[in-house]
Structure 1
Amino acid sequence: MHKDITIYDLARELDLSAATVSRALKDHPAINKNTKKRIVEKAEEMGYRSNNFASNLRKQKSHTIGVIVHELNSNFITSVLAGIEKITTIANYDLIIGHSSELASKEIANANNLFHKRVDGLIAALAFDTDNMDHYEPFFERNIPVVFFDRVEEGSKGTKVIIDNYKAGFQATQHLIDQGCKRIMHITSNLKRNVYAQRYKGYLAALKENNIPFDESLLIVNDLKKETCIASAHEIASMKPLPDGIFTTNDLTAALSIQVLKERGIRVPEDIAVVGFNNDTISIIIEPKLTTINYPGMDIGEMAATHLVKQLQGSNGTNNTSSIVLKSELIIRESSLKKDKAKK
């Protein structure tokens, strides 16, 4: 196990006084710019963590857990945070929450900031464009436990708390096929991310099992932002022939699609059946109510926090690479029930 690097270690390496190193790390104006640069670079190289919790230094514990999320305007993320907070409060840990706004650069900055704030552990979900895990290495090197949830890098270090996205994607697509759909549009996002890649693979597997050839024109990959999804829905409404089913990778996209299709005179589910993902509140507000996959955010948060706390208390090892798979389920509502509509 690595011991924490101190300013005295940096001073010895650089042949400078500890006072100079300390002032440079606090960005003191009296320190020469080039000297400051040398000190900061050496601090990063040696893995120095600034001490923001001096009162806890002797115990080497901050009783703080860092959380990195990729967005905040999501019912799913709000539920996950509620689950995390429930468990960490009982265990007497405070939370520091960082928000990456779907940018790897902000995720890296958040990870570095939380490392320097000396958090005891970290819970994180990856941004859209995160393509390596280097910014988590300082945590692993110091045996600081890390638990990833939802957006994870399969095969990486750290515990992962996920659902079976492949199975969920298969179920959603199979349900549409069972309703008689044969031209099923799939709206998803960055296929490098595990959640979208696995749902897409499930979609493809259901098509294959039912001898329905994959049509590339029925795949839309976008950033899932409101404006983009509205534009995609207009694109779908103009297709000839129309798809007869849509499986989207989140509920907001599904709800926006329903709204646009109805505005364009296309009936849901009679003309196009729609299935979403997450079981967000919007799924029961939109008309018709949305068939979706229930993704239990509260349970995900509770499980992630429980495993992190166990690792911090030494009862579950640190930095293991196990995956914990929670159950999801298809919730069938009016937006996909073509057969019921056909009977009336």
Structure 2
Amino acid sequence: MKAEKEITIYDIAKQLNVSPATVSRALNDSPTISIATRKRINALAEKLGYRHNTFASSLRLQKTHTIGVILHELNSYFITSVLAGIEKITTEARYNLIIVHSAENPDLEAANARNLFHKRVDGVIASLSFDTEDLSHFKQFQNKNIPVVFFDRVFENSDGAKVIINNYQAGYDATAHLIQQGCKRIAHITSSLKRNVYAERMRGYKQALQDNHLKFNEKLLIIDGFKEEDATRSATRILSMKNLPDGIFITNDFCAAVVMQALKDAGIRIPQDIAMVGFNNDSIGKVISPKLTTINYPGFEMGQVAARTLINHLKGTWDVNLTNTVIIKSELIVRESSLKKGEK
């Protein structure tokens, strides 16, 4: 079966007896063309099944109006919130998104970066995988003056724009809250300390202990993943401790929910025996029992700021090379899981 011929602006121009330039401007919603003419041209284009040749326009303009987004995962409330924030800003600015994810694999992250580079994206928004050790795969963008904005998981001492929260302060606040509730033996469940987010939260945890004359105990530190099987393993390690902790600060809400259930199944009362604080303000924290005290990590706002920073650079109203770090405000949300002393 023979493929149908692709409709061009010349076909539309011929049928309406106008110039191809008029058709092109009308399809691009140019105010130099009257509204009535624009309507006529767009209606015929739709009827004939005209498709805008983005590729040809991109080559001509040296712009694709496309932004690449590199994520370390796709299935978390925080990441979907960030994406919603990015999408809101990019849609308003009439940019398309290509979303790729590394599944926490630095090799896949590098391959994704190459793929976006060859797709000629105008800019990149990225959050690093657990084990990314350098930013060499982002050099190709830098060499072509393609802006990159990092968010959440970043190299804090690297050049370029970064959008983060104060992870140190959040870790400090979570731990200090448990201490205020009377906890003296506080476990910390976290993930790869190669990443700024977990390293900084642990630094806050340690400082809160020190400021309250409590010793850091390496046996109370558990470093693992956040999937269900990882969280179950972490809970088993807690339960196998000779002296159980009386508080746990976990840097991920889903992981905290799995750990909480495993502890409850073993007869541990939350918060009376072990008080718990999570991180991210994931919706799961509101439906488990008791409801989870957590750190609100404003993903939507973070996505908006990252996208706005990038788009302002592309529009020439801001230079990401002048931006170092933008810090988004986070806050402790107190719920039942940590309240050993009851509601204040």
Q: TM-score range by the shorter chain?
A: 0.7 to 0.9
Equivalent in 98, 108, 121 of residue 110 of structure 2? 108
- By how many angstroms is 1:318 displaced? 4.0
Structure 2 stretches lacking a partner, 5+ long: 1-53
- Residue aligning to 1:289: 291
Equivalent in 58, 61, 74 of residue 59 of structure 1? 61
Percent of residue pairs identical: 63
- Residue aligning to 1:31: none
- Residue aligning to 1:264: 266
- Residue aligning to 2:23: none
Mapped partners of 2:56, 2:143: distance in 1:
22
- By how many angstroms is 1:285 displaced? 0.7
- Residue aligning to 2:182: 180
TM-score scaled by length of structure 1: 0.83
Equivalent in 217, 220, 224 of residue 218 of structure 1? 220
Instruction: Tell me, yes or no, if the aligned pair for 2:66 and 2:95 is still in contact at 8 Å.
Output: yes
1:59-78 alignment to 2 at 5 Å?
59-78=61-80
Instruction: Tell me, yes or no, if the aligned pair for 1:144 and 1:319 is still in contact at 8 Å.
Output: no
Mapped partners of 1:305, 1:169: distance in 2:
26
* Pair member with larger Rg: 2
1:147-186 alignment to 2 at 5 Å?
147-186=149-188
User: What do the CA deviations read for 1:150-204 (whole angstroms, capped 9, x no partner)?
Assistant: 0001121221000000000000000000000011000001101000000000000
Q: Which moved more, 1:142-151 or 1:310-319?
A: 310-319
Mapped partners of 1:235, 1:148: distance in 2:
34
Instruction: Tell me, yes or no, if the aligned pair for 1:168 and 1:293 is still in contact at 8 Å.
Output: yes
SS of structure 2 residue aligned to 1:180: coil
Query: Which amino acid in structure 1 is aligned with residue 208 of structure 2?
Result: A
SS of structure 2 residue aligned to 1:161: strand
Mapped partners of 1:111, 1:149: distance in 2:
15
SS of structure 2 residue aligned to 1:269: coil
- By how many angstroms is 1:321 displaced? 4.7
SS of structure 1 residue aligned to 2:244: coil
- By how many angstroms is 1:228 displaced? 1.3
User: What do the CA deviations read for 1:280-333 (whole angstroms, capped 9, x no partner)?
Assistant: 000001100000000000000000000000000011114345100000000000
Mapped partners of 2:135, 2:92: distance in 1:
30
Instruction: Tell me, yes or no, if the aligned pair for 1:186 and 1:247 is still in contact at 8 Å.
Output: yes
Instruction: Tell me, yes or no, if the aligned pair for 1:237 and 1:261 is still in contact at 8 Å.
Output: yes
- By how many angstroms is 1:134 displaced? 0.4
- By how many angstroms is 1:58 displaced? 1.9
Structure 1 stretches lacking a partner, 5+ long: 1-51
1:105-254 alignment to 2 at 5 Å?
105-254=107-256
Residue 116 (structure 2) pairs with residue 98 (structure 1): no
User: What do the CA deviations read for 1:200-225 (whole angstroms, capped 9, x no partner)?
Assistant: 00000000000101111000001222
Instruction: Tell me, yes or no, if the aligned pair for 2:167 and 2:201 is still in contact at 8 Å.
Output: yes
Mapped partners of 2:192, 2:269: distance in 1:
29
Cα distance change on mapping 1:320 and 1:104 into 2, 3 Å: farther
Mapped partners of 2:233, 2:202: distance in 1:
21
- By how many angstroms is 1:253 displaced? 1.2
Instruction: Tell me, yes or no, if the aligned pair for 2:149 and 2:320 is still in contact at 8 Å.
Output: no
SS of structure 1 residue aligned to 2:321: coil
Equivalent in 76, 86, 89 of residue 88 of structure 2? 86
Q: Which moved more, 1:226-235 or 1:201-210?
A: 226-235
Instruction: Tell me, yes or no, if the aligned pair for 2:257 and 2:284 is still in contact at 8 Å.
Output: yes
Query: Which amino acid in structure 2 is aligned with residue 259 of structure 1?
Result: Q
Q: CA RMSD in A?
A: 1.3
